[in-house]
A and B are shown apart, each in its own frame.
Chain A
Amino acid sequence: MSKFNRRDFIRWSAGITLAGGSLGIPGLLLAATRKVVVVGGGVGGCTVAKYLRKLDPNVEVTLIETKKAYTSCFMSNEVLSGDRTLASLTFDYEGLKRHGVNIVIDRVTAIDPAKKSVATEGGQTFAYDACVVSPGVDFKWDAIEGYNAEVAETIPHAWFAGPQTQTLRNQIESMPDGGKVIIVAPPNPYKCPPGPYERAAQIAMYCKHHKPKAKILILDPKDRFSKQGLFRQGWSKLYGFGTDNSMIEWVGAAGGGTVEAIDPSTRTLQAEIEEFQADVINIIPPQKAGKVAFASDLAEGDWCPVDKLTFESTRHPDVYVLGDASSAAKMPKSAYAANSQAKVAAAAIVARFNGQSPGEPTYVNTCYSILGEAHGISVAAVYNLDRGSNTILPIKGAGGLSPMDASEEQRRREVSFAHSWFKNVIDDMMG
């Protein structure tokens, strides 16, 4: 490293500017402080804010989020088994403030890429040199007839951790033994691909002890799902899957698992072939990028295309889209993916501010599912960028699923590593 660093350069160039008198004070200020506005305080938004400050303390970072505290979706299935409270998933933004991030609680209405500014419902505007958008997903409410945001208050999606997670937990607790729970899984792509199947296991984990005659049925518009072999194996071992007395049942597309309509008053689902009635219904609707992505012209189809070298939008320069809302094939829509993408984007933005080209990116995804008290499984991948096709490709010969023949001890350890992952990823994004 040269002893002549960036700060020296700024001082030096400021001296030249002052001597020349051509740019004057505003030009000087612009050179000294670069502003990044982050929209959304989830995994992508928090991680990019923290790492921008870590990589370059001269960057001024403002994060705008609607809620005062963050509640993680990952691990929220454990609320359904009773293993965890919602409070244990809720974290404030004080950690990010300690990193020098300005936290603004407000709702962003739109980003104006021409003026390079962000407007909020509260009437504030924020100018930016770079804007990072990480709004997560929104639902396609028109996909299942009779299901909408209002109905979801009583027939919850529970796909954003919060009050609906508690509603679903309460409904499962108060249903009779011998009661029936239906989970309606969404079509691809959606956030947390193994989530619906882990959810079935977590509900079964509770029922096994408290309502042993209960049944959990998954209606699925797909014929295959994430970690399928491992889920079937775990469900068999723990909940009798595949036997006449199985607690969990799964109906895929070929078996008529696609749900077309719901009658909320009778809790009846109209699927492709037959009707299903249940004591508790959990509908996870089809998904698309969060609202602000559409309001800001960042989406093409359902998701936001990006240059995967930097996560800069291919539609508007200086706007970056991270996490679930981005079209980041072949990474899944997961917390680890958003965390990993945020670091690529933070490094690229800091490089840009310093007049450098972005470094070669590297990405990781790790995703755990907990099927029972001592039964965890995982999938992992390390990715490279294929610049030619702008595709994030998993490195061949690496990554993959937990082995099918793992010992009980290994499955037990994966539960404790899942909990370690949870604590560390939360700390890495906002601690």
Chain B
Amino acid sequence: MRYKNNIAILALLMILPAFSQAESPSGQALAFTCAGCHGTDGSSVGPSSPSIAGMDPDVFIDVMKGYREDKRNSTIMNRIAKAYTDEQLKGMAWFFAKQELQVSPQKHDPQLAVVGEKLHQKYCEKCHEDGGAPGDSGTLAGQWMPYLKYSMADYIDGLRPYPRKMKRKVDAVIEAEGADAVPALIHFYGSQQ
């Protein structure tokens, strides 16, 4: 009798996971749902939601956790990010990391961009290497300018925590170059196509 019960319990245990543990959607399936705002495979056609194609996977995960935990100002992403588990964020992160960023041209002031390039080299290039190309400090080159503008405003207004060392650099560039420093940088990033 006891033996039979054990068999029954064993059988139940083997069946149970199939019912209780819902399988997670694949990273691709999850990533496909982002395209309505961030573009097919994460290359946004603008004018303000950022491209996430080619994004460093660790940066992606950090950003999403920041939204999920309301540590980073947003209009809508904090509401959406709360739906995903760590595992699912990892799946999405790797999907986008493998996509090639398609940059769309955007209107910018070429003279301001030249100023911005010099400022970038002096204050930003050390972390945002190759002119801010996709890397472990995010994607600035070719990123949508309104998005960069919102991001910088949020850093300066204290609505988004600065990464290590960034506050010092932002304060320094504004002190040295004045109110045009941040717009110049944004026009430089926007000029890269």
Q: Which of B58-66, B73-81, B129-137 contacts A (4 or more CB under 8 A)?
A: B73-81
> CA–CA, A24 to B35, complex, Å?
43
Q: State the Cβ distance, A74 to closest chain B Cβ, in Å.
A: 11
**A283 interface contact, C-beta 8 A:** no
Interchain CB contact under 8 A, B25 and A366: no
Which A residues are CB-close (under 8 A) to B37? 366, 417, 420-421, 424-425
Interchain CB contact under 8 A, B33 and A423: no
**A239 interface contact, C-beta 8 A:** no
Interchain CB contact under 8 A, B150 and A423: no
Interchain CB contact under 8 A, A362 and B33: yes
Interchain CB contact under 8 A, B84 and A382: yes
Q: How large is the interface on B (under 10, 10 to 19, 20 to 34, 35 or more residues)?
A: 20 to 34
> CA–CA, A360 to B48, complex, Å?
31
The verdict on A413 contacting B84 (CB below 8 Å), with A420-B37, A424-B35, A424-B37 known, is no
Interchain CB contact under 8 A, B36 and A360: no
Which B residues are CB-close (under 8 A) to A242? none
Q: Which of B7-15, B38-46, B117-125, B172-180 contacts A (4 or more CB under 8 A)?
A: B38-46
Q: Mark A402-431, 1 if CB is under 8 A from B, else 0.
A: 100010011001101101110111011001
**A29 interface contact, C-beta 8 A:** no
Per a CB cutoff under 8 Å, which of A340, A397, A424 touches B33? A340
Q: Mark A102-138, 1 if CB is under 8 A from B, else 0.
A: 0000000000000000000000000000000000000
Interchain CB contact under 8 A, A398 and B83: yes
Choose among A380, A424, A427 the residue with the greatest number of B CB atoms under 10 Å from its CB.
Answer: A424
**How many A residues, CB 8 Å from partner?**
41
Which A residues are CB-close (under 8 A) to B86? none
Tally A-B pairs: CB < 8 A.
115
Task: Look across to chain B and name the residue whose beta carbon is closest to the beta carbon of A397.
Answer: B82
Q: State the Cβ distance, B58 to closest chain A Cβ, in Å.
A: 22
**B49 interface contact, C-beta 8 A:** yes
Which A residues are CB-close (under 8 A) to B48? 413, 416-417, 419-420
Among all A-B residue pairs, the 5 with the closest Cβ atoms: A382-B83, A398-B83, A398-B82, A362-B25, A364-B33
28 contacts between A and B (CB under 8 A): A335-B36, A339-B36, A340-B36, A359-B23, A359-B25, A359-B29, A360-B24, A361-B25, A362-B29, A364-B33, A364-B36, A366-B37, A366-B80, A380-B79, A380-B80, A382-B80, A382-B84, A395-B82, A398-B82, A402-B76, A417-B48, A417-B75, A420-B49, A423-B45, A424-B36, A428-B35, A428-B39, A431-B40
Which residues from chain A sit less than 8 Å from chain B, CB to CB?
A: 51, 335-336, 339-340, 343-344, 347, 359-364, 366, 378, 380, 382, 384, 395, 397-400, 402, 406, 409-410, 413-414, 416-417, 419-421, 423-425, 427-428, 431
Which residues from chain B sit less than 8 Å from chain A, CB to CB?
A: 22-26, 29-30, 32-40, 44-49, 75-76, 79-84, 144, 146, 150, 153
